[in-house]
């Protein structure tokens, strides 16, 4: 996707509407627990301000489902953004309406305004399919988008975390701004470059590491990647569905029985495509999930009453040795219950192996979500090539799905 970026347009004297991703948890006192997503948006914001524009920022936070709630207000973001930019950020207590219109019209070059949570309006999340089937929903979504679009002369999308969604602010607003510049920010540019180049122009050997709870969440990723990679290393609870597909007992381990036949089919397809599916050879099991739980390592079948919670030591070595040979690596999903010792050792071992391979010249992309959290928790995020900001978005990208919200933006 060779899209125009914020660096390709003249913004002097213009009002810029920028979709950011400020969706991160606040603590019980509505304090920001991490400002990383705000920091990630700064390069695009600063570029616009340096170019002589004023900027109107918009984002969602949480799932308020059309209800205005203090705990999901973006007011704390405005405060932190003011500190990071070294200038006052005007905060609007809504994202549409007469007060917002007035504040937008009086914005001067160099000023920043942040709109209140987009999801305080249900129209933001109306899906296009529902809108097509229901004229009233379509009208409501379009009217909401028109009000946002009328605030500015230029649209910038820098929210990769929601780039796979057809939310009003992501898709309908730029549709309403046809004829005006509609570009991507630096954050999305980096995501498309790293994910796109990695998947479509990889150096071989190319290995994908997939973990997490469900095979169903990764079906599309596995089917798409097996055409491109030399091998797929599978850990996490999703491995137990593959075990059962091979006729093994998995005890009380999480297993998607409805997807056993699909797992068999994937194993067969992988053999046909000469893609190696590498499953765990041993498993850390316990009878209960709690920190410091009594556990043991087994190979093969898991007895009833026991659950698998992590890959075992032999698997850690097996996976690490495969990763060491790689020139390109994609990792999405933990190898076990990474938040809880002693079931975090598999994820730690994989993270370290990916970092060491990157140190030796491999390109590594961490696909957001739990794997991003794990690698940051270990302090290894600076030792990999790229950590994606979008969990669901990066997964859909790896599946090869089109992103309508990006496709409609201006080509270079």
Known catalytic residues are: 37, 214, 369, 392
Contact status, residue 174 vs residue 147, Cβ threshold 8 Å: no
User: CA nearest 174: which of 17, 11, 4?
Assistant: 17
Question: What's the per-residue H, E or C state across the chain?
Answer: CCECEHHHCCCCCCEEEEECCCCCCECCCCCECCCHHHHHHHHHHHHHHHCCCEEEEECCCCCCCCCCCHHHCCHHHHHHHHHHHCCCEEECCCCCCHHHHHHHHCCCCCCEEECCCHHHCHHHHCCHHHHHHCHHHHHHHHHHHHHHHCCCCEEEECCHHHCCCCCHHHHHHHHHCCCCCEEECHHHHHHHHHHHHHHHCCCCCEEEEECCCCCCCCHHHHHHHCCCCCEEEECCCHHHHHHHHCCCCECCCCCCHHHHHHHHHHHHHHHHCCCEEECCCCEEEECCCCCCCCEEEECCCECCCCEEEEECHHHHHHHHHHHHCCCEEEEECCCCCCCCCCCCHHHHHHHHHHHHHHHCCCEEEECCHHHHHHHHHCCCHHHCCEECCCHHHHHHHHHCCCCHHHHCCCEC
What is the distance between the alpha carbons of residues 20 and 60, in angstroms, rounded to a whole number? 8
């Amino acid at each position: 996707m060779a899209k125009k970026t914020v660096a390709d347009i003249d913004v002097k004297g213009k009002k810029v509407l920028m979709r950011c991703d400020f969706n991160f948890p606040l603590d019980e006192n509505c304090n920001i627990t991490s400002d990383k997503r705000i920091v990630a948006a700064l390069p695009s914001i600063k570029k616009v301000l340096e170019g002589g524009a004023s900027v109107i920022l918009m984002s969602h936070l949480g799932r308020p489902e059309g209800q205005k709630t203090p705990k999901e207000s973006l007011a704390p973001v405005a405060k932190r953004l003011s500190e990071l930019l070294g200038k006052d950020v005007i905060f609007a207590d809504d994202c549409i309406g007469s007060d917002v219109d007035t504040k937008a019209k009086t914005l001067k070059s160099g000023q920043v305004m942040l709109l209140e949570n987009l999801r305080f309006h249900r129209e933001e999340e109306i899906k296009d399919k529902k809108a097509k089937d229901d004229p009233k929903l379509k009208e409501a979504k379009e009217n909401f988008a028109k009000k946002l679009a009328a605030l500015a002369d230029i649209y910038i999308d820098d929210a990769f975390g929601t780039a796979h969604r057809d939310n009003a602010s992501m898709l309908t607003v730029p549709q309403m701004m046809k004829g005006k510049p509609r570009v991507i920010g630096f954050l999305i540019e980096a995501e498309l470059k790293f994910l796109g180049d990695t998947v479509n122009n990889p150096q071989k050997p190319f290995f994908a590491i997939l973990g997490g709870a469900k095979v169903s969440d990764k079906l599309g990723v596995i089917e798409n990647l097996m055409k491109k990679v030399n091998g797929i290393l599978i850990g996490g609870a999703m491995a137990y569905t593959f075990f059962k597909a091979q006729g093994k007992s998995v005890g009380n381990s999480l297993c998607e029985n409805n997807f056993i036949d699909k797992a068999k089919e994937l194993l067969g397809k992988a053999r046909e495509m000469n893609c190696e599916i590498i499953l765990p050879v041993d498993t850390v099991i316990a009878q209960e999930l709690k920190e410091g739980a009594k556990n043991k390592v087994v190979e093969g079948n898991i007895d009833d009453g026991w659950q698998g919670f992590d890959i075992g030591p032999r698997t850690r070595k097996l996976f690490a040795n495969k990763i060491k040979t790689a020139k390109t690596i994609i990792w999405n999903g933990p190898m076990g219950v990474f938040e809880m010792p002693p079931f975090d050792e598999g994820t730690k071992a994989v993270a370290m192996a990916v970092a060491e391979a990157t140190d030796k010249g491999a390109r590594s992309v961490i696909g957001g979500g739990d794997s991003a959290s794990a690698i940051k928790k270990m302090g290894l995020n600076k030792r990999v090539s790229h950590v994606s900001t979008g969990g669901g978005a990066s997964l859909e990208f790896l599946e090869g799905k089109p992103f309508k919200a990006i496709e409609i933006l201006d080509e270079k």
